[in-house]
């Protein structure tokens, strides 16, 4: 039912889900990289490989969501993302070797792929059309809110230890998952009575739209943004730490 209360609940749950999956589970790797390198003896090549595996998990989750969301609805997919975030961050916190660390980071890194895409379907189902853009914009700010929290926590971790912070990430991810399990709808979207059931034609139209010449700049922008973001989130904190240690500012 599309009510103001439902809209408010969905917005809050969405901000929480996107915050823990992006801001904690995915970007936490780069924010805590100096600590992880010190404790696990990671080389630069190791850091790059782990980052690549995390993005591969993210891509795999996105592809799975594209195939499943129409049949399952948003709830099971977002819950899967939340569980990946919780399990992954807790595995990282408990890791006593590189193998468990990598497993946890890849699992955590896949969580945004499960969580973000289904939210457009949830908003379309539960939010009045006039408010959908605003709600999606508010949900997207969950990443910024979580990074604003995790950044200072990375500084606090110098005294308390990074593992305690990752346990906190896991607990918060579990809480966000439970919240979303209560708020989100599940099951296939009810078909409109005017819809003749031309799913094949709709998919073909989507593919044609993606392959249009006018879409090429959008694709290039997305690729470049991804490349720059991958390097920045993996190595920015490490670069600052190195510069500070060498007296570079």
**Which CATH number fits the domain that encloses residue 143?**
1.20.1250.20
Same domain, 56 and 140: yes
Q: How many CA atoms lie less than 13 Å away from 9 in the CB half-sphere?
A: 16
Under the banding of pLDDT at 50, 70 and 90, the label for residue 123 is very high
CA distances from 178 to 2, 18, 117, 216 (A): 21, 14, 18, 39
Instruction: Say what the pLDDT of residue 239 is.
Output: 61
Same domain, 55 and 162: yes
Same domain, 185 and 204: no
Q: Which two tokens stand for residue 128?
A: 């009045």
Residue-wise pLDDT for 172-213, tens only, equals 999 999 999 999 988 887 665 444 444 444 566 656 666 677
Instruction: Say what the pLDDT of residue 170 is.
Output: 97
Range of the domain at 226: 198-249
Give me the residue label for tokens 């500070």: 244
Q: Which two tokens stand for residue 82?
A: 């939340």
Same domain, 92 and 60: yes
Instruction: Return the percentage of the chain with pLDDT > 70, whole number.
Output: 78
Same domain, 30 and 111: yes
Query: Which of 71, 183, 174, 203 is closest to 135 using CA atoms?
Result: 183
Same domain, 39 and 159: yes
Instruction: Return the percentage of the chain with pLDDT > 90, whole number.
Output: 51
Same domain, 118 and 207: no
Instruction: Say what the pLDDT of residue 119 is.
Output: 92
Helix (H, G, I), strand (E, B) or coil at 196: coil
CA distances from 215 to 18, 56, 133, 187, 220 (A): 26, 24, 21, 32, 9
Contact status, residue 28 vs residue 108, Cβ threshold 8 Å: yes
Domain end residue (candidates: 189, 211, 233) = 189
Give me the residue label for tokens 């609940």: 9
Same domain, 88 and 23: yes
Same domain, 112 and 130: yes
Distance of CA 55 to the CA centre of its chain: 10
Instruction: Say what the pLDDT of residue 66 is.
Output: 87
Mean pLDDT of 43-71: 90
Under the banding of pLDDT at 50, 70 and 90, the label for residue 240 is low
pLDDT at position 69 over 50: yes
> 233 versus 85: which is more confidently predicted?
85
Instruction: Say what the pLDDT of residue 78 is.
Output: 96
Contact status, residue 183 vs residue 15, Cβ threshold 8 Å: no
Least confident segment among 56-60, 79-83, 196-200: 196-200
Least confident segment among 30-39, 69-78, 128-137, 239-248: 239-248
pLDDT at position 147 over 50: yes
Same domain, 204 and 179: no
Mean pLDDT of 11-39: 92
Same domain, 125 and 33: yes
pLDDT at position 237 over 80: no
Contact status, residue 98 vs residue 40, Cβ threshold 8 Å: yes
Same domain, 47 and 169: yes
The count of domains in the chain is 2
Domain end residue (candidates: 189, 216, 231) = 189
């Amino acid at each position: 039912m599309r009510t103001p209360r439902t809209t408010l609940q969905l917005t809050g749950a969405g901000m929480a889900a996107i915050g823990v999956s992006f801001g904690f589970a995915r970007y936490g790797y780069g924010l805590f990289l100096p600590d992880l390198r010190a404790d696990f003896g990671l080389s630069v090549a190791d850091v790059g490989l782990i980052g690549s595996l995390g993005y591969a998990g993210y891509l795999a989750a996105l592809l799975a969501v594209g195939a499943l969301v129409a049949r399952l609805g948003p709830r099971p997919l977002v819950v899967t993302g939340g569980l990946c975030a919780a399990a992954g961050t807790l595995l990282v916190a408990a890791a006593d070797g590189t193998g468990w660390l990598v497993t946890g980071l890849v699992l955590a890194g896949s969580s945004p792929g499960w969580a973000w895409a289904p939210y457009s379907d949830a908003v379309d189902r539960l939010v009045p059309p006039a408010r959908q853009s605003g709600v999606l914009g508010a949900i997207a700010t969950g990443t910024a809110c979580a990074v604003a929290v995790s950044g200072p926590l990375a500084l606090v971790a110098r005294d308390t230890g990074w593992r305690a912070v990752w346990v906190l990430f896991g607990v918060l991810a579990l809480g966000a998952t439970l919240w979303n399990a209560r708020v989100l709808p599940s099951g296939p979207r009810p078909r409109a009575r005017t819809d003749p059931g031309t799913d094949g034609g709709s998919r073909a139209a989507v593919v044609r739209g993606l392959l249009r010449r006018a879409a090429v700049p959008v694709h290039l922008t997305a690729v470049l943004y991804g490349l720059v973001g991958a390097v920045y989130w993996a190595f920015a904190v490490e670069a600052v730490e190195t510069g500070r240690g060498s007296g570079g500012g």
